[in-house]
Amino acid sequence: MSEDIKIEYVALSEVIGADINPKDHDIGQIYQSMKRFGFTSPIMMNEKTGKLLAGHGRLETLAMFKKGGDTPPDRVRVREEDGEWLVPVLRGINFDSDVEAQAYLLADNRLTELGGWHTDELVLSLQGILQEGGDLEGVGWDLDDVEDLITDSERERFEVESIREVSDEEDTVQIRVGRYRFKVEPEYFYEWETMVNDILQTNDPEEFIEWIKEQLKMG
């Protein structure tokens, strides 16, 4: 597999997809993103076969752009002599076998799915865009998603956790409710857990914090 890679512009009609690509794509979302941000990530070709290793969703989206009569996204060129669209392609990658090429295709799609999100930081990022007058078109989330994320974040923040600590002298359970931590005797943990979960069903976070402080004699 060559390590010398470069970006070349290749005619859209000459780019060939892999024989098997089991990944489904949200073409509508890719279209909105590409319309807003342009073509930002070159597609990847296997030099041995001339077929794609990565970028099938982007390729399909570009075909939809062209078929619909849209102007090409930023960073997609148009060849003057015939109007053919030219797309950035990452060249120089040459897998020795079809098996390795197919394995990479799967890995390229799968590995990004395995990662999660830091919900609090995601909410801050999305809210920051909106608060600065931006919008979420082409970002992959909408306003309903932001509300759901905020709700999930609040529930995660106030989730009740316990850590049992055993020593020669004592056996205690450490309770964590959001950023508050305290120790109780093990037999009281489930009582606390029930109270907290009941409060969470009816009170907003600010009221809940005050309730926690009152219970801990912090208010």
Q: Over the stretch 22-72, which tens digit does the pLDDT of each residue have?
A: 999 999 999 999 999 999 999 999 999 999 999 999 999 999 999 999 999
pLDDT, mean of residues 77-105:
95
Q: Give SS3 for 189.
A: helix
Q: Are residues 136 and 108 part of one domain?
A: no
Note the pLDDT of residue 170. 57
Q: How far is CA 46 from CA 55, 101, 107, in A?
A: 12, 7, 15
pLDDT beyond 60 at 168: no
Q: Are residues 162 and 110 part of one domain?
A: no
pLDDT beyond 50 at 219: no
Q: Are residues 145 and 45 part of one domain?
A: no
Nearest CA to 35 out of 188, 183, 145, 137 is that of 137
Note the pLDDT of residue 133. 87
Note the pLDDT of residue 191. 75
pLDDT beyond 60 at 178: no
Note the pLDDT of residue 57. 96
Q: Are residues 129 and 101 part of one domain?
A: no
Q: Are residues 110 and 69 part of one domain?
A: yes
Length of the chain: 219
Q: Do 1 and 93 form a contact (C-beta atoms < 8 A)? A: yes
Residue whose entry in the numeric block shows the structure tokens 């989730």: 159
> Is 1 part of any domain?
no
Q: Are residues 198 and 124 part of one domain?
A: no
Note the pLDDT of residue 218. 45
Q: Are residues 87 and 62 part of one domain?
A: yes
Q: Are residues 136 and 93 part of one domain?
A: no
Nearest CA to 93 out of 110, 108, 78 is that of 108
- Own/partner pairs, 72-79, CB within 8 angstroms, 24+ separation: 73/34, 73/35, 73/38, 73/39, 74/37, 74/38, 74/39, 75/38, 75/39, 75/40, 76/38, 76/39, 77/9, 79/11
The total of other beta-carbon atoms located within 10 Å of residue 49's CB is 15
Q: Are residues 85 and 13 part of one domain?
A: yes
How many Å apart are CA 141 and CA 29, to the nearest integer? 10
pTM above 0.95, yes or no: no
Q: Are residues 185 and 150 part of one domain?
A: no
Q: Are residues 41 and 134 part of one domain?
A: no
Q: Give SS3 for 72.
A: coil
Q: Are residues 170 and 91 part of one domain?
A: no
Note the pLDDT of residue 195. 72
The pLDDT mean for the chain works out to 83
Domain containing 10 equals 6-114
User: How many domains does the chain contain in total?
Assistant: 3
